[in-house]
Structure 1
Amino acid sequence: MDFNISEENEQMRMMVKNFVENEVEPYAQQIEEEDEIPQHLIDQAKELGLFGLSIPEEYGGIGLDTVGKCIVYEQLGRTHNGYVSLIGAHTGIGSTGLVRLASEELKQKYLPDLASGNKIGCFALSEPGAGSDATNLGTTAEKKGDKWIVNGTKHFITNAPIADVFTVFALTDKEKGAKGGITAFVIEKDFPGITVGKPDKKMGLRGSHTSQVIFENCEVPDENVIGEVGMGYVSALTILGEGRVGLAARSVGSSKKLIDLSIEYAEERKQFGKPISQQQAIQWMLAEMETETEAAKTMTYRAAWLIDQGEKAIKDSSMAKLFATETYNKVADKAVQIHGGMGYMAEYPAERFYRDARITKIYEGTNEIQRLIISKNMLKGS
């Protein structure tokens, strides 16, 4: 693995870094208070091409490799997590399936608008009865003539309230189940029979909205099947694998930001006549935060590099997601501790990052599921 960043990726890193620091970060508190991302920040992200990170240039995107995307996600992770969640859900699991698995016809139809951000994508897999057990889908799709009729309910779907294009997984053969009986579809918000529920009220990630998506005899053209009929579960694993590496990179960025905030506060805050940064207890916390974050960063970029080499990297992606999100939560906890009472106050970023960190251990595959994936790849006979 080459640890040197290409000139193109370094330029992208600096562009996103400056954008985050100068344009997004000044609005972080406003996003938190209003639970809404200012439209001009979305428009600026479009102008920078951030909605087309995963989409090849021939369809209007930037077409970054996985390492390149992680470099961008790491910088985005340094600001409000709701903002990066909106973009990350679109550029990651929201569009990766179309890029990797869709027919040329579907790519031509949907990718240019997704790349420009004129249309927003999302990934609809989770259901009330199928969260960690994604094989237990209740949503069904029945072939009738040249259409599929989809029925069922998805929930906790990031970007659903603003999405135009849904990557949806449905059971097409109950007997086969996950082994050849789940199919992926691309469904537009205007198709007959699709209803998007009210935004969920959540602990964190304000500005990034989730909701239920209900399908009642929703008619989907046969050509809107993504990949092969029956291979949807395999497709989901492929899409989620790349998404987990992206989430790991975002978690590394957030951890880095918390470390910077903690150092700044520790050097300013005085107790017993001197800055608390001179207290060994604080120094040890900072050392642990930095060490674990650097380890998470190395693990993340190695998984990304393996994917770019054509490897499946299923175990490596799960390890990166597991370790980076666990690290983010530990770093957030220590950051609040270093800030003391101020870390519990809503006007300090540490409090917001602390709440936002918690979901990273749950979505895109719980960390318990990541442990199962890792161990099964270790124990080949299991």
Structure 2
Amino acid sequence: MDFELSKEQKMIKNMVKDFAEQEIAPKAVEIDRDARFPEETFKRMGSLGLLGIPFPEEYGGSGGDTLSYALAVEEIGKACGSTGLSYAAAVSLGASPIYYFGTEQQKLDHLLPLASGQALGSFGLTEPNAGSDAGGTKTKAELVDSEYVISGEKCWITNAQYARTVIVTAVTGKDDKGKNIISALIVPTKAEGFKITSPYEKMGVRGSNTSELILDEVRVPEKNLLGDPNKGFKQFLYTLDGGRISIAALAVGIANGAYEKALSYSKERKQFGRTISSFQAIQFKLADMAMQIELARNMVWKAAWLKDQEKPFTKESAFAKLYASEMATRVCNEALQIHGGYGYMREYEVERMLRDTKLMEIGEGTSEIQRLVIARQLGCF
């Protein structure tokens, strides 16, 4: 594979970088402090076409690819982890499943407003007792007179309170072996019986909306079933594979933001009559940080490239997500250490980055789950 970015990819990267520096980064402290979802930022991103980067123009997208999208996630995440997480979830989870598995009419009705930036999407998979064990889904959807009646509860769902639609996973029956058939349904957030609240007080990514969903006999038309009803489980595994690329890109962005702040600070901070960047202990920290960020970025790019080439990418997306997320926590921690006591203070921002990046080791499958995915891909079991 060729890691040279195309002219279009470089253009997207530079455009998003400028936008992130000018409009996202200046709000990052306030968004974190107030736990405020930046609706105005997402409206601007929508008008710039950022919410539709990997989708075709006929569905309101920008006609880009996964790598272009990953570049955008990194730049947005570098400026603000909260905004980066909500952006990644809107595209990878809220919109992508409709593109990959939806009917033509579903794409026109539901993907087009998401990709064109008119609305946000969300993906409701996790339940109180079914997180890593997605097969343990308890939410049920029963087909009654050409409508699915959905009842259940979802937790830790990104963007739901600001979304137009939520793709909800639910048990729709049993297969011939007696196992649950898990399907996906497109549910409008304004549907009767659909209650969305945001009760969580989070450690990090505080400006990204995280919601609890309660579905009390919510009715949606049979046509809102997404994809093959018997392949819902495989469909959302594919969705999560793609989502892991975006979480890895987000981790790279947050880590890079912390690294650049540490590098800049080390050139200004003086101890014992000289800048701390002249001390070998600090130089070695910065060298390791830069190397690990570059390695993670290459893993993200490879996984994205494989996906764009329609080649298998499950293992590589797990590699990227696992390494990038754990790398980002290490890098942000070292950035704080380089700042010393100042790093512990909010005004220097690296403490926020450390809080934000910890979620990257948990969301879209924990580090432990990534290792299981990789082991399975290696043929260990």
TM-score when normalising by structure 2? 0.97
Q: Which moved more, 1:177-186 or 1:42-51?
A: 177-186
Counterpart-to-counterpart distance in 1, 2:298 and 2:357: 20
The aligned residue for residue 109 of structure 2 is 109
Whichever residue aligns with residue 283 of structure 1, its letter is Q
Counterpart-to-counterpart distance in 2, 1:178 and 1:44: 48
Counterpart-to-counterpart distance in 1, 2:168 and 2:63: 23
Superposition map of 1:18-37 within 5 A: 18-37=18-37
The aligned residue for residue 234 of structure 1 is 234
Whichever residue aligns with residue 105 of structure 2, its letter is E
Whichever residue aligns with residue 94 of structure 1, its letter is G
Superposition map of 1:1-382 within 5 A: 1-174=1-174, 181-379=181-379, 382=381
Counterpart-to-counterpart distance in 2, 1:174 and 1:124: 21
* CA apart distance, 1:180: 6.6
Q: Give the gaps of 5 or more residues in structure 2.
A: none
* CA apart distance, 1:252: 1.0
Counterpart-to-counterpart distance in 2, 1:109 and 1:340: 52
Contact 2:193 2:217 in 1 (8 A): yes
Contact 2:161 2:198 in 1 (8 A): yes
Contact 1:200 1:209 in 2 (8 A): no
Q: CA RMSD in A?
A: 1.5
1:97-131 CA distance string (max 9 Å, x none): 00100011100111221123222100100000101
Counterpart-to-counterpart distance in 1, 2:104 and 2:249: 30
* CA apart distance, 1:178: 10
Percent identity over paired residues: 39
Q: Which moved more, 1:339-348 or 1:167-176?
A: 167-176
Counterpart-to-counterpart distance in 2, 1:308 and 1:221: 33
* CA apart distance, 1:312: 2.6
1:40-92 CA distance string (max 9 Å, x none): 32222122111212332101111321111111111112111111112111011
* CA apart distance, 1:32: 1.8
TM-score when normalising by structure 1? 0.97
Query: Structure 1 pair 288/275, CA: closer, same or farther in 2 (3 Å)?
Result: same
1:213-244 CA distance string (max 9 Å, x none): 01111111111111111211101101010110
Secondary structure, in 3 states, of the residue corresponding to 1:203?
coil
1:126-169 CA distance string (max 9 Å, x none): 00010111100010111112011111000000001111110110
Q: Give the gaps of 5 or more residues in structure 1.
A: none
Query: Structure 1 pair 5/22, CA: closer, same or farther in 2 (3 Å)?
Result: same
Secondary structure, in 3 states, of the residue corresponding to 1:172?
strand
Secondary structure, in 3 states, of the residue corresponding to 1:214?
strand
